[in-house]
Structure 1
Amino acid sequence: MASTLIGKQAVVIGAGMGGLTAAGALADHFDQVVVLERDTLPSEPTYRAGTPQARHVHGLLLSGQRALSELFPGFEQDLARARAVPLRVGLDVRVERPGYDPFPQRDLGWLIYAVSRPTIEHAVRRRVESRANTTLRQCCRVQEVLASPNGGAVTGVRYENDNGASETIAADLVVDASGRGALTLALLQSIGRPLPEETTIGIDLGYATCVFAIPDDVPTDWKGVMTFGQAPQNSRGGLMLPLEGNRWMATIGGRHGDVPSGDAEGFLTYARALRTPTIYNAIRHARRLDGVTRYGFPESVRRHFERLGVFPRGLLPIGDAICRFNPVYGQGMSVAALEACLLQRLLERLGGDSDPIGGLAPTFFAEVQALIETPWSVAILDFVFPDTRGQRPADFETTLKFGIALTRLAAEDPAVHKLTVEVQHLLRPRSVYRDPALVQRVLAKMAEA
């Protein structure tokens, strides 16, 4: 079925995962799609200044992998051609959590890929650039979103081009995928509109990453390792995954000041002090391929655009502009791809309306809540650490006990294990845990304790 064109030109601010996937969703519904990126975009899969977090372990969840394949058919083959490492979900990553070292390893029947963030972004960028009506303009720093005199509609953006000159570009739709949403907030302030309410969870997370050559005497019972500390006393944890090029990327860290130093010796010292020795034993004699890179993440932020009564027509913030998640849980790229799939579905659905662009943002804000709810409910688990800032849910202790009992049940029952992994990979909503039969089994586990 032919897609309905709903406008002449859409402008996307930012060529990260949020912007690129949004551009993929927009291409069938506008004559032209222009992506403006302040960075120089490398022709090869290498790091760039605008994505400092890209130098750390990234997880592409199964839901994100499927969403990218929906937006760009054949995308999984792109990853395989880029020598991404296939991982059998439930089996190939050794998960170490208190009481389970390791958690039972089972092949749950799915394949995901371990691969660096630059390689994923490069593969998506090539897909976007292959669209005849889509243009990526690099070294273009957007300075402001432009609105009509009464502030009711967005008309385009003003940006500084690669020569330092100021230019404007007209747009029927502007998608703000610039990261923190500062341009959207600035526009709302300039036209006298209220800013969205925010919910924050202050976690003061700090971590460090190093890349190693995988040694010849590698363990055969795992390809990656995830280690959890003993909460709430110990916030230290680590995740090590294979990368293309026969490499390991190890990220280790903690919260509220208990973080690794930025030198190689300090990295190993911190790794040695993790609750389990698996990561340290793997890397202590491995050849280090680069220096130690550090990153800090102060808080998860959810902006409630859905509560605003009015919103400028033709503006749509997405990705981190709506919700920034604790990166420990590896949800960011996948949520961005899922949001783009939602955007694509809405464009198809609203295409026949009299004013599809007018209805887009309010509908998106309403429907994206169901998508955000499950990953955000995981962020709430950060309240297990007493120094976490924010509004702790009233029933938090009960939620925690339920989760512990559910984990015990998942260790014993492969079907429950598979269900919990489906929720972790955002394939199913967290509400599946409210199934009466499952609740009864979890309550029975809680009574055993």
Structure 2
Amino acid sequence: MEITANVQETPVKTPQKVIVIGGSIAGLLTARVLADHFDQVTIIERDRVPEQPESRAGVPQSHQLHVLLTQGYRILNQLFPGLEEELAGLDVSTLNWTADFQWLLPGGWSPRFPSHLKTQACSRNLLEFLIRKRLAAYRNLDFKEATTVTGLLLNPNRTTVEGVKLRNSNGTDTQLSAQFVVDASGRNSQTPQWLKNVGYEAPQETIVNAFLGYASRWYQSLGNEPLDYHVLYLMPQAPHQSRGGVLYRVEGDRWIVCLIGVGRDYPPTDEAGFLDFAQSLSDPSVYEAIKNAQPISPIYGYRRTENRLRHYERLSHFPNNFVVVGDAVCTFNPVYGQGMTVASLAALVLDQCFKQYTQHRSNPDLKDLGKHFQKKLALVNQTPWLMATADDLRWSTTAGDKPNIITRFLQQYIDKVILVASERAEVYQSFIEVIHLIKPTTIFFKPSILWQVIRQAFS
């Protein structure tokens, strides 16, 4: 993706206020870029913000595995200089995605070799905490906790958003004015209903649901011998192998063990069922690692994993001074680990839109910026959406949008690419670069890969 952050630029800051609805990763990253453009940024979060890296009610999946892809890792380190060193000081190890990742592909175990594809493997709670702590140091940014947004405030002719309606923890209703509002409230976003309430159309939705479920547990250590990887992945494989599992090392030398089931073949959350499910996987690695290991958490289940895309870019009418980002627009099946990285890409796009609209203007007009941004965001979401849904649509039990002829072709072609990647390190690296949103999917059709796929198909 040709999107880069340039934190050295000095944007034109408007003497105005902006509201960000939601304080999760998408909301925090959005607030970070808007702090460069507005005199005052207010993040409105319905939870009490924890003072330590802890779970909170508004993120029910926080106990589950979260992956920051290489593209997202690079962007976060550009937006927050020194984050890499801070993570390292908290016992977060560097993960090289081609050297430290053991992946059982249809053609066998993935090749392992060092590359530039790196992140630091930490829990979602720690990452969110560190970002929030850094934002707290911004003088023009504040948090309004335990407060729920109940609607939008519009001007008399309902063309422009001018703030939000609020309800605090004791049930008192108030209002907060702003010159710009961002909805980063997540998959439960009320924007479609808010738009209908003020006379606009709600966006069309595309849903693809593979009925995938997780069961995750945390361990202090695994197995009797040191493991020579940081991540191990046994991938479910359509049409018959509906079960998979992940071992993922995070800070403090702890491990998240995640069992996966597709097509309502949900992994159990009881002790015996969890181990039996692990033992049923296609390879014994996960079971052998946990059978005698000491867990440090309960077993957490999670089943809300459908892909959902709200098409704000298609709306013919959209209020000025308002945008929607993150899971409020596009929610991916979490098994692909795309959410945080796509949120970071969206933050950069929003930053670029503001630079475009405010450059060389002492009194910038933000009219139509929202429409412009939603169309740009749709392009950012396009590749990860295709990757996630094309894989989920392999399953006969998947509900929602159906695969078209292009999707079926891509599925068959990618199958051949994966088989070649099992044997060819250079093809495998290209495959990982696409997954980590570093390279576009068109790289699979460059002559060197295309030729190897053709040879494999006729061998």
> Shorter chain as normaliser: what TM range?
over 0.9
**Which residue of the other structure, out of 63, 69, 78, is the alignment partner of 2:77?**
69
Question: Counterpart of 2:196?
Answer: 189
Give the secondary-structure state (helix, strand or coil) at the position aligned to 1:258. coil
Matched, 1:301 2:308: yes
* SS of the residue 1:384 aligns to: coil
Distance (whole Å) between structure 2 residues aligned to residue 125 and residue 175 of structure 1:
17
1:413-435 CA-to-partner distances (Å, cap 9, x unmatched) read 32222111111001112122233
CA distance in 2, matches of 1:293, 1:370: 34
Q: Which residue of 2 aligns with 1:84?
A: 92
Q: Are residues 216 and 324 of structure 1, via their aligned partners in 2, closer, same or farther at CA, if it must alter by over 3 Å?
A: closer
Counterpart Cα distance in 1 of 2:81 and 2:373 = 24
Residue 369 of structure 2 aligns with an amino acid whose one-letter code is: L
Distance in 2 between residues matched to 1:215 and 1:238, nearest whole Å: 14
Distance in 1 between residues matched to 2:411 and 2:261, nearest whole Å: 20
State the alpha-carbon separation in 1 of the partners of residues 374 and 104 from structure 2. Answer: 37
Q: Say which of 23, 26, 39 aligns to 1:18.
A: 26
User: Within 1, Cα distance between the matches of 2:333 and 2:52?
Assistant: 28
The answer to whether structure 1 residue 262 and structure 2 residue 272 are counterparts is no
The answer as to whether partners of 2:26 and 2:326 remain within 8 angstroms in 1 is: yes
Is 1:373–2:382 an aligned residue pair?
A: yes
Between the aligned partners of 2:139 and 2:169, the Cα distance in structure 1 is 23
Match of 2:373 in 1: 364
- 2:298 matched to 1:291? yes
| Preserved contact between residue 208 and residue 292 of structure 1 (Cα < 8 Å) | yes
Contact in 2 for aligned 1:402/1:443 (Cα 8 Å):
no
**Corresponding residue SS for 2:10:** coil
Report the counterpart of residue 117 of structure 2 in structure 1.
Answer: 110
Establish whether residue 154 from structure 1 lines up as the match of residue 149 from structure 2: no
* Matched residue SS, 2:157: coil
Task: Please provide the CA RMSD for this pair.
Answer: 1.7
Moved more, 225-234 or 311-320: 225-234
CA distance in 2, matches of 1:161, 1:81: 37
Q: Answer yes or no: is the 8 Å Cα contact 2:107–2:422 preserved in 1.
A: no
**How many angstroms does 1:316 deviate by?**
0.6
Give the distance between the partners of 2:180 and 2:78, measured in 1 at CA. 23
> Which piece of structure 1 moves more, 278-287 or 351-360?
351-360
In 1: Cα distance, 2:442 partner to 2:83 partner: 30
Identify unmatched segments of 5+ residues in structure 2: 1-8
For 2:440, give the aligned amino acid.
P
SS in 1 for 2:303: strand
Q: Distance in 2 between matches of 1:209 and 1:346?
A: 39
> TM-score, with normalisation over the residues of structure 1?
0.95
Contact 2:106-2:418 at 8 Å conserved across structures: no
Q: How many percent identity over aligned positions?
A: 33
List gaps (5 residues or longer) in structure 1.
Answer: none
| 1:395 is the counterpart of 2:402 | no
Higher mean alpha-carbon deviation, 257-266 vs 56-65, is at 257-266
Match of 2:3 in 1: none
**1:177-216 equivalence runs, <5 A:** 177-180=184-187, 182-215=189-222
Residue in 2 aligned with 1:273?
280
Q: Following the alignment from structure 1 to structure 2, what is the Cα–Cα distance between the partners of residues 226 and 219?
A: 17
Q: How many residues in Structure 1 have an aligned counterpart in Structure 2?
A: 447
Q: Which moved more, 1:47-56 or 1:345-354?
A: 345-354
The one-character-per-residue Cα deviations of 1:357-416 (angstroms, maximum 9, x if unpaired) are 213212211212332122111122111111111221223432222112111222333222
Q: Output one character per residue of 1:159-196: Cα deviation in whole Å (capped at 9) or x when no partner.
A: 11233321211011110000026332122101221121
Task: Provide the TM-score with structure 2 as the length reference.
Answer: 0.93
How much does 1:298 deviate? 4.7
The answer to which of 408-417 and 84-93 deviates more is 408-417
The letter for the 2-side match of 1:38 is R
Q: Which moved more, 1:332-341 or 1:225-234?
A: 225-234
**C-alpha separation in 1, matches of 2:330 and 2:72:** 16
Q: Deviations over 1:8-46 (max 9, x none)?
A: 100000000010000001001111000000001110001
Pick aligned residue for 1:416 from 415, 427, 435: 427
Match in the other structure for 2:59: 51
Q: Distance in 2 between matches of 1:437 and 1:247?
A: 40
> What one-letter code is carried by the residue in structure 1 that aligns with 2:14?
I
The answer as to whether partners of 2:67 and 2:338 remain within 8 angstroms in 1 is yes
Q: Closer, same or farther in 2 for the Cα pair 1:218/1:362, shift >3 Å?
A: farther
- Give matches, 1:227-266, under 5 Å: 227-266=234-273
Q: Cα offset for 1:85?
A: 2.3
